[in-house]
Amino acid sequence: MQEPSQPVPVAVAILGVCFVIVATLTWRWAFVPAFAIAIVPLMLLGILLCAIAIWSKRRRLAVVGLLTGVTVVALSICFVMWQAAKVLRRVSHSGMNIAQYVMMASSAQGLVEIAETSRLSDGAARDSVDLTTIPAPYNVDAWGRAFVYQTCETCERGYRFVSLGPDGQLGTADDVDMLSLSIEGAFELPANRRPSR
pLDDT tens for each residue of 131-165: 888 888 888 888 889 999 999 888 888 899 998 88
Residue where one domain finishes, among candidates 91, 113, 145: 91
pLDDT for residue 26: 55
Element (H, E) at 87: helix 60-94
CB 91 within 8 A of CB 103: no
- Note whether 12 and 51 are same-domain residues: yes
> Do residues 128 and 64 share a domain?
no
- Whole-number pLDDT of residue 184: 52
Nearest-5° angle of CA 107, CA 112, CA 117?
130
Is residue 102 located within the same domain as residue 174?
yes
The ranges of the chain with pLDDT < 70 are 1-40, 42-43, 46, 49-50, 54, 56-66, 68-69, 93-94, 182-187, 197
**Does a structural domain hold residue 40?**
yes
Contacts of 128 (CB under 8 A, 6+ apart): 149
| 103, 78: one domain | no
- Tell me which residue range forms the domain holding 81: 7-91
10 Å CB burial of residue 52 (0-12, 13-18, 19+) is middle
Residue 57's pLDDT is 64
Q: Is the dihedral of CA 29, 26, 33, 145 positive or negative?
A: positive
What pLDDT shows up at residue 134? 82
pLDDT at 137: 81
Q: What pTM was estimated for this model as a whole?
A: 0.55
Question: What is the predicted pLDDT for the residue at 1?
Answer: 46
Q: What pLDDT, in 10s, does the model give residues 3-15?
A: 544 555 555 666 6
Residue 14 and residue 53 in one domain: yes
The answer to whether the CB of 138 falls within 8 A of the CB of 106 is yes
Identify the pLDDT of residue 42: 66
pLDDT value of residue 143: 87
